[in-house]
Amino acid sequence: MAIRWGSYKVKGFYDELIRVTGKPRPAAAALCSYLRSLTDREIEEYRSAAEMAIQLMGVTFTVYTEDEGSIDRAWPFDIIPRIIPKSEWTQVETGLKQRVLALNRFIDDLYHDQEIVRDGIFPAALLKNSVNFRKQCIGIDPPGRIWAHICGSDLVRDKDGTMYVLEDNLRVPSGVSYMLENRLVMKRVFTELFENQHILPVDDYPSQLYDMLAAMSPRNIEQPEIVVLTPGIYNSAYFEHSYLAQQMGAELVEGRDLGVDKDDCVYMRTVDGLSRVDVIYRRVDDMFLDPEAFNPDSALGVAGLMRAWRAGNVALANAPGSGVADDKVVYSYVPEIIRYYLDEEPQIANVPTYKCINQEDREYVLEHIAEMVIKPANESGGYGMLIGPQATQKEREHFRKLIKKDPRNYIGQPLLTLSTAPTLFGNRVEPRHLDLRPFILTSPDSIQVTMGGLTRVALRKGSTVVNSSQGGGSKDTWVVDDEGV
């Protein structure tokens, strides 16, 4: 008897596996009783087996240090999975598809007639202020009018159990390789569990990604040339770039491997000469993509790439300029965006958001700043944020001034209490906060959502920071069939 569920306390949080102390949720019952049956020694064995598997498979993320150049670190992995019943996941999936469909329509509209602005739904001032709006993309028609082919949306659950979208990553979302590897590790370590219940598979992501990319090819040929464009080995997500290229059988290229010829086509330099490239899955940010069109000092990009893309001679995923729809202020308009383009009610909730550009909202935020989280529009990774309840009086005053000075740049949200899941420390389980990043692939004729996604967990007690660089780890995510049985 190693894991004692009786001492696992879930009061004040929504726990993903345990409903009330000692009582697992139905979808997690089999897992919890299995874990209870394990001895200390077995748990230790499983944990070191998982660690070994991670090392063997070379699952790493890269940390750059001055002295040694870049070093690869294994990302901490917790062997207790996070479980979502399929009936719930089906609803989330529908909501995400609806959301991404509307966001693509929104991006396409912004780069064309801007009807949503003309109809007074989305303020022109916000667009003018957006740092991710690329005027170089105005009037371009990417195939199927899809801009954000790959989207990673971050979901969190509040203490009452409601699932919210916290943000959408429409530029170069990462993490999917960890989702795939985590599952491989779990299948090696907990074979019995996979035999006895229906855990929905995630392994088909690379082939779905390949099919989606291949379908974008401007040339109608049997084997279009698909490449993954990486900033190089010093990028923190290099492992993922190389992993996805290998899984898809695509060439992993850097900017200097590619060139645009006089015919406005993209070629890669191979030892057999120049070879035409049809589709680029780019993992390089917009601003570094093409020194001719964007940052002229970029050495990571390909001069003339925008020219080739505009001419329709190469497909880019995600399309440049997609990021216009993932800043924090646009986020606050997503419910309106869904209603405007699809004439539907949002199926998955946004975190209630107060837009300081509206006078009413602004007054509410200024008054309740001590209970809220204040976020600037265009920063990511938690920069420039105020967490009201933890801030000093002085900090709050500072943010009041910032908001009054530039209201359109700020939003306010109530502070959510993230849900938890049991996480293994030695032979004890303790609750830790987590989020979830599913990945959504959009083709002209279908939208596909991963079964679950990447669960990131804050390993420090009480922390809600799940980033890999700041003490975060990950868990496998099981969508368990609770209907078919």
Partner 1 sequence: MLSRVAENIYWMARYIERAENTARLIMVNTNLLLDLPQTGQLGWQPIVEILGIEEEYLKQYEDYDERTVLKYLISATDNSNSIINSLRLARENARTIRDIIPREAWECINDLYHSARSTAQSGYYRKGRFDYLQKIIFGAQTITGLLAGTMLHDMGYDFLKMGRNLERADMTTRIIDVRSADLLPEHEEMTPFENIQWMSVLKSLTGYHMYRRTIRDRVSRPFVLKFLLKDKQFPRSFYHTLLEVKSCLKHLKRNEDAINMLNEVGKKVLRADQAILKQEELHKFIDELQLGLAELSAVISNTYFKQA
Find, among 287, 84, 296, 359, the residue nearest to 199 by Cα. Answer: 84
Choice between 151 and 277, CB closer to partner 1: 277
Choice between 83 and 252, CB closer to partner 1: 252
Tokens, residue 247: 């899984």
Chain centroid to Cα 416, Å, comes to 19
Choice between 113 and 263, CB closer to partner 1: 263
Instruction: Let me know if 48 is exposed, middle or buried by CB neighbors in 10 A (0-12, 13-18, 19+).
Output: exposed
Measured from the Cβ of residue 71, the count of other Cβ atoms closer than 10 Å reads 11
Tell me the closest approach of the beta carbon of residue 70 to partner 1, in angstroms: 8
Question: Which residue matches tokens 């004692």?
Answer: 4
Tell me the closest approach of the beta carbon of residue 270 to partner 1, in angstroms: 6
Choice between 256 and 461, CB closer to partner 1: 256
Choice between 39 and 270, CB closer to partner 1: 270
Choice between 307 and 339, CB closer to partner 1: 307
The pair phi, psi for residue 90, each rounded to 5°, is -60, -40
Choice between 252 and 441, CB closer to partner 1: 252
8 A C-beta contact, residue 304 and residue 264: yes
Choice between 273 and 484, CB closer to partner 1: 273
Distance between CA atoms of residues 45 and 236, nearest Å: 30
Tell me the closest approach of the beta carbon of residue 251 to partner 1, in angstroms: 6
Tell me the closest approach of the beta carbon of residue 189 to partner 1, in angstroms: 22
Tell me the closest approach of the beta carbon of residue 36 to partner 1, in angstroms: 39
Choice between 270 and 446, CB closer to partner 1: 270
Tell me the closest approach of the beta carbon of residue 449 to partner 1, in angstroms: 29
Choice between 230 and 350, CB closer to partner 1: 230
Paired sense of beta strands 226-229 and 251-253, if any: parallel
Distance between CA atoms of residues 112 and 84, nearest Å: 40
Tell me the closest approach of the beta carbon of residue 54 to partner 1, in angstroms: 15
Choice between 247 and 464, CB closer to partner 1: 247
Choice between 210 and 267, CB closer to partner 1: 267
Tell me the closest approach of the beta carbon of residue 268 to partner 1, in angstroms: 6
Tell me the closest approach of the beta carbon of residue 218 to partner 1, in angstroms: 21
Q: Over the chain, what HEC string results?
A: CCCCHHHCCCCCCCECCEEECCEECHHHHHHHHHHHCCCHHHHHHHHHHHHHHHHHHCCCEEEEECCCEEEEECCCEEEEEEEEEHHHHHHHHHHHHHHHHHHHHHHHHHCCCCHHHHCCCCCHHHHHHCCCCCHHHCCCCCHHHCCCCEEEEEEEECCCCCEEEEEEECCCCCCHHHHHHHHHHHHHHCHHHHHHCCECCCCCHHHHHHHHHHHCCCCCCCCCCEEEECCCCCCCCHHHHHHHHHHHCCEEECHHHEEECCCCCEEEEECCEEEECCEEEECCCHHHCCCCCCCCCCCCCCCCHHHHHHCCCCEEECCCCHHHHHCHHHHHHHHHHHHHHHCCCCCCEECCCEECCCHHHHHHHHHCHHHEEEEECCCCCCCCCEEHHHCCHHHHHHHHHHHHHCHHHEEEEECCCCCEEEEEECCEEEEEEEEEECEEEECCCCEEECCCCEEEEECCCCCCCCCHHHCEEEEEEEEECCCCC
**Contact positions toward partner 1, by CB under 8 A?**
58, 69, 232-233, 242, 245-246, 251-254, 256-257, 259, 268-274
Choice between 263 and 483, CB closer to partner 1: 263
Tell me the closest approach of the beta carbon of residue 332 to partner 1, in angstroms: 42
Tell me the closest approach of the beta carbon of residue 467 to partner 1, in angstroms: 25
Tell me the closest approach of the beta carbon of residue 269 to partner 1, in angstroms: 4
Strand partners, 268: 258, 275
Tell me the closest approach of the beta carbon of residue 278 to partner 1, in angstroms: 16
